[in-house]
Amino acid sequence: MTWYPQSYVDKVPMTNMNMRPDPSNGYPGRTYRFYTGETVYSFGDGLSYSEFSHELTQAPRLVSVPLEENHVCYSSECKSVAAAEQTCQNLTFDVHLRIKNTGTTSGSHTVFLFSTPPSVHNSPQKHLVGFEKVFLHAQTDSHVGFKVDVCKDLSVVDELGSKKVALGEHVLHIGSLKHSMTVRI
């Protein structure tokens, strides 16, 4: 849950549930996906009696989306492709991390995997792909894996409400760790 500052609460009517920001009237947007202003607590923030570090051990730099030979994107530049059933079959990849409790106290840690898509179709600034909770004793580590479905987890909704796989640079976020990868045809 995102905790907004008092200035946000004073500015935004409780009845306005629009998610995307609207610069024409100063509406700042809602949720961690669209709001870019200051927060008291951001979605995914948490407290712990220990410290945890993240190390990326496996993630692709390039993901190719297969298309039929006569697809229009081969002859023109496309920002996205439809997340259609024939495009999306078995289009997944793995992300693996090493999580280490670097503190002196045992504790639980929730690992959040976020994605930031390219700026197409008024896309969100980031969205949650997956999460995993781990318990680690002090000075121990563990491995966490995520299976990322390209059409489900890296897609955006265009202006007409159609689900699209955004082409271009996507950024995966885990804590303060960032990993760039390119999705192309």
Look up residue 10 and give its two tokens: 């004073």
Same domain, 138 and 158: yes
The CATH number assigned to the domain holding 152 equals 2.60.40.10
Written as one string, the DSSP assignment of 14-42 is TT----S-BTTTTB---HHHH--S--SB-
Q: What is the pTM of this model?
A: 0.86
User: Domain containing 35: what range?
Assistant: 1-45
Residue type, position 146, single letter: F
pLDDT digit of tens for each residue in the chain (185 aa)? 888 899 888 888 888 888 888 888 888 888 888 888 888 988 888 888 899 999 999 999 999 888 887 778 877 788 888 887 667 778 999 999 999 999 999 999 999 999 999 988 888 888 999 999 999 999 999 999 999 999 999 999 888 888 889 999 999 999 889 999 999 98
**In terms of Cα–Cα distance, which of 93, 90, 88, 80 is closest to 151?**
88
**Domain co-membership, 61 together with 40:** no
Name the domain count of the chain: 2
Joined together, the tokens standing for residue 69 give 């030979």
Closest of 28, 26, 13, 25 to residue 125, by C-alpha: 28
**What does the alpha-carbon distance between residue 162 and residue 164 come to, in Å, rounded to a whole number?**
6
